[in-house]
Amino acid sequence: MLRYATLLLGLTLPLAASAGPVVTIGDGQVQGVADTSAAIFRNIPYAAPPVGGLRWRPPQPAVKWSGARDATQFGPACPQPPNSPVMMVGPVGASSEDCLTLNVWKPAAARNGDNLPVMVWIHGGGFFTGSGSEQQFDGAPYVSRGVVFVTINYRLGRLGFFAHPALDAENPSEPHGNYGLMDQIAALKWVRSNIASFGGDPASVTVFGESAGGISILDLMASPSAQGLFQKAIIESGTFAPQMRDIAAAETLGREFAKAHDADGPGAAAALRALPVETVAPAKPVAMDELGRIQAMSAPMIDGKTLAENVFTTFAKGRQAKVPLLIGSNGLEALVWLFLPNGKMATVPILPVDPALVLARLGPDKDRVVSHYSERFGGDMAKMAPAIAADMLVGAGTNFVADKTAASGQATYQYSFETAPAPLRDVTFGAPHGAEIPYVFGVLDRLRNVGPQTTEADRALSATMIDYWTAFAKTGNPNGPGRPSWPAHGAGGAVLAVTGKGPVVASGPADPIMTLFQQRLADLLAKSP
């Protein structure tokens, strides 16, 4: 569930300094930077630093300050393993446990009372890497379309998703385990309380994210604690297979970690909090086995409070937040693209793509599935295996969620992303995980030094996607003049196929193999906690 890598070139330059706009919020004043079109306010605390006794506690209110807080520079990322090709994530700069901050972009002239739509981006990175200040997450295209745009940090890895009986026993009435998800909820509460000061409408908030960020949106729609904090949702590549651990399983992993660091005896809670942050979230390159352990612990869990049940069960039962939903996935979600140290690009698996393993998972349906994909890929199993894995483990979940929200009466718009930026086309045969991000944020031209030049068709497609996303944030409907009509997902199964030649509406009889994969998902869900 890793989000694609980026070592984007042609980085965003800071806005030209002006008088430094000042906005008053609940905790004090913040002074940002602006040019004639936009103002940015960075590193605004939405919660107290989760350090010392607040490590592995729900986020607490931010500490008020006096005077105008400097909001001109991004704050540190939350602790995470360092950047490397293995991590598939671009540079995020310094990190610190004191990282619960957010960043706000607004139109320069926006004022309290303007009631502009708000979009809150939740970054991906497998729940153990990434930050809201990554250079590709540029709010400028949305601000230019009349949106107030927000990115956030949230606790990651073992600091964000961790359970141990001693921690749980300290404050039995509190939720436990899903601290990163609780952070996201706290950030949304901050938005509700403060965004009007930036010209935003707290009653028109769209949450959106990709990969772990998309999973987060799914979780927020299912969480009782997040209800009413947003009015629309966009999920990009966030519907991975439905297994979810419960808090008991998380506690088992937590005790294994504690024992390995002599912190599992009497006073385990204090001993765990006394561990150096580098022990919990390594600051140096890690071996693959340690990376695997971090990944295994870095995911939301069923804790009985923040998440009461498997989120797919929530959608199956129609208990999710009843808000308009825009949802989609990419054709090759089993592969992710990244930059290599030599500046070139490659695609690597993030899901099992070994043909033997993929075929083994198909069981008695193997011949039927292989025959279906052979028509698309000419029998090339090296291409068929990633496509099958992507549809089985992500695409089917996207269809499942879209079907359930549409059946609940929610306006639902589904897309299938089927292209990739020009510099990536030499190393992929489809749209790998994360391929939509440069289009969604209008940063295609920052790839210009790493391969074939971005085409005008790509730029036009990017503008169209941003227009769809913005219109949805404003009205709950992505449609508008100057772009193909996008019908709501419903009985006809309408899906917007985003191709290199532009968006095309696809509908008609359900794909029998995708229907098979959806049934497998339902069967797996029946066995899940």
What residues are labeled active site? 211, 333, 433
Whether 197 contacts 24, CB under 8 Å: yes
Q: Measured between alpha carbons, how far is 150 from 200 in angstroms, rounded to an integer?
A: 10
CA 5 to chain centre: 13
How many Cα atoms are found within 13 Å in the side-chain-facing hemisphere of 23? 27
Q: Measure Cα distances from 122 to 40, 203, 417 in Å.
A: 17, 19, 20
CA 164/CA 171 separation, integer angstroms: 12
Q: Where are the alpha helices (DSSP H) in 235-364?
A: 247-260, 268-274, 277-280, 288-297, 311-316, 355-362
Q: What are φ and ψ of residue 487, in 5° steps?
A: -70, 150
**Burial class of residue 433 (count of CB atoms within 10 Å of its CB; 0-12, 13-18, 19+):** buried
- Three-state SS at 521: helix
Query: How many degrees, rounded to 5, is the angle at CA 362 between CA 355 and CA 518?
Result: 120
Distance, in Å, from the CA atom of 132 to the CA atom of 151, rounded to the nearest integer, reads 5
Question: Helix, strand or coil for residue 355?
Answer: helix
- Nearest of 313, 310, 350, 295 to residue 160 by alpha carbon: 295
Contacts of 260 (CB under 8 A, 6+ apart): none
Cα–Cα distance measured from residue 442 to residue 418, given in angstroms and rounded to the nearest whole number: 17
Q: What is the number of H-type helices and E-type strands within the chain?
A: 17, 17
> Which two three-digit tokens encode residue 121?
């981006």
User: CA 406 from chain center: how many Å?
Assistant: 22
What is the distance in angstroms between the CA of the first residue and the CA of the last residue of the chain?
Answer: 20
Can you read off the two tokens belonging to residue 369? 């599935």
Q: Give the residue carrying structure tokens 């979230």.
A: 281
Distance separating alpha carbons of residues 402 and 315, to the nearest angstrom:
9
Q: Positive or negative, the Cα torsion across 55, 310, 297, 227?
A: negative
Cα 262–Cα 268–Cα 269 angle in degrees, nearest 5: 130
